[in-house]
Amino acid sequence: MHAEDANFTFVHFTDTHIMAGITYTSDFGWQVDTQKTLERVIRAINALDPAPDFAIIGGDLTSPDLIDRSRRPTPEEYEPSYQVLHETLQLLNCPVHMLMGNHDDRIAFHRVMQHEVPSPDFPHYFSFNHHGYHFIGLDTLEPGKHGGYVDAQQLDWLRDDLHAHQGEPTLAFMHHHPWPVEIEWLDTQNLRNGDDVVGLLRDHGGVRWMICGHVHLDKEIERDGLTQLTSPSTCFQTSKVSQARKTYAGPPGFRVVRVKGRELSTQVLYLHADRNDEL
Ligand SMILES: [Fe+2]
Ligand SMILES: [Fe+2]
């Protein structure tokens, strides 16, 4: 199908931060059950009209590392959280693509999702086509760091993938934001070689949007025809004004994208009440 005839919807939700069996208590004092908030988001997505063709989850899928910050959990300790994620996603009525974030563990992720990978901790990047559009998912996880990085091997893959899809309208997804969101503490943990990634995306000529997670807030930045969108988290959000770290529980949110021919439009929905009929 040519992009001119495209007519579909997809959703981007992110930072699901599943911690198996735990109601997360933040250092700000608020609590959130991240499995419950994900279930609410999934119910809302299932109620969308038109229904989305697919979903992309923007990373920080799980985060048992937040329970005890003094040490990093083992892949075995990560696995129950990916199991809970996997089971919860069975509720979703459309196919789903997942990205890695800084709180994720590739080894446990691949094991639970039963991916065939060249090595146990192989970066999880991919691309696919849908109705004349090209979609790219990058893996910006740099183990042990809050910020992100795309290594040389993945950059080579990205260059080749873009070349193979020259001229096709393209959307790129990554956990970490290449461009500053103008919130100081978040901009110290961005995609540190974002210029390399953006350079390749710009060379392609057809990349319209970069859609990111990580910052737990919805923002839109446009530079010379390329737009960076960030989506809110399904569980807890970041202050839109504080330059120092400040987070708060809810409301769960997600992004809906409409594609009609060459036109893209988007909106962010927040679940202020646990009722889909109030969307
Ligand atoms: Fe996150
Ligand atoms: Fe993150």
* Structural domains in the chain plus CATH codes: 3-278 (3.60.21.10)
Q: For 206-226, what is the mean pLDDT?
A: 97
User: How close is the Cα of 232 to the center of ligand 2, in Å?
Assistant: 11
Query: In terms of DSSP bridges, do strands 7-13 and 24-25 run parallel, antiparallel, or are they unpaired?
Result: unpaired
Ligand number with the minimum distance to the CA of 191? 2
* Closest of 136, 103, 108, 138 to residue 121, by C-alpha: 108
Bigger pLDDT: 92 or 71?
A: 92
User: How close is the Cα of 104 to the center of ligand 1, in Å?
Assistant: 10
pLDDT, tens only, 7-19 = 999 999 999 999 9
pLDDT at 136 over 80: yes
What global pTM score does this model have? 0.97
For residue 251, cis peptide bond before it (omega within 30 degrees of 0) = yes
User: How close is the Cα of 4 to the center of ligand 2, in Å?
Assistant: 35
User: How close is the Cα of 236 to the center of ligand 2, in Å?
Assistant: 12
pLDDT at 161 over 90: yes
| Strands across the sheet containing 207-212 | 126-130, 133-137, 170-174, 207-212, 226-230, 219-223
What percent helix, strand, coil does the chain show, rounded to 5? 25, 30, 45
Q: What are the C-alpha distances in Å from 69 to residues 52, 83, 94, 179, 206?
A: 37, 21, 34, 28, 41
Q: What pLDDT does residue 274 have?
A: 75
Q: What pLDDT does residue 187 have?
A: 98
- State how far the Cα of 1 lies from the Cα of 212, in Å rounded to an integer: 27
Are 166 and 202 contacting, i.e. CB atoms less than 8 angstroms apart? no
- State how far the Cα of 150 lies from the Cα of 158, in Å rounded to an integer: 10
User: How close is the Cα of 177 to the center of ligand 2, in Å?
Assistant: 10
Ligand number with the minimum distance to the CA of 175? 2
Ligand number with the minimum distance to the CA of 16? 1
- State how far the Cα of 159 lies from the Cα of 153, in Å rounded to an integer: 10
Ligand number with the minimum distance to the CA of 142? 2
pLDDT band of residue 216 (cuts 50, 70, 90) is very high
Q: For 55-67, what is the mean pLDDT?
A: 96
Radius of gyration of the chain (CA): 18
Percent of the chain whose pLDDT exceeds 90? 94
Are 110 and 96 contacting, i.e. CB atoms less than 8 angstroms apart? no
Cβ-based neighbours of 138, under 8 Å, separated by 6 or more: 99, 125, 150, 154, 158, 172, 173, 174, 197
User: How close is the Cα of 164 to the center of ligand 1, in Å?
Assistant: 32
Ligand number with the minimum distance to the CA of 18? 1
pLDDT band of residue 277 (cuts 50, 70, 90) is low
Q: For 233-238, what is the mean pLDDT?
A: 97
pLDDT at 62 over 80: yes
Ligand number with the minimum distance to the CA of 13? 1
Length of the chain: 279
User: How close is the Cα of 102 to the center of ligand 1, in Å?
Assistant: 8
- State how far the Cα of 21 lies from the Cα of 83, in Å rounded to an integer: 11
pLDDT at 273 over 90: no
User: How close is the Cα of 60 to the center of ligand 1, in Å?
Assistant: 5
User: How close is the Cα of 51 to the center of ligand 2, in Å?
Assistant: 28
Q: What pLDDT does residue 250 have?
A: 80
User: How close is the Cα of 2 to the center of ligand 2, in Å?
Assistant: 35
User: How close is the Cα of 17 to the center of ligand 1, in Å?
Assistant: 7
Cβ-based neighbours of 130, under 8 Å, separated by 6 or more: 8, 10, 53, 54
Ligand number with the minimum distance to the CA of 189? 2
Q: What pLDDT does residue 49 have?
A: 96
pLDDT at 275 over 80: no
Burial class of residue 117, CB neighbours in 10 A (0-12, 13-18, 19+):
middle
Q: What are the C-alpha distances in Å from 178 to residues 76, 189, 230?
A: 31, 10, 11
pLDDT mean across residues, the chain: 96
Angle formed by the axes of helices 34-46 and 75-89, to 10°? Answer: 30
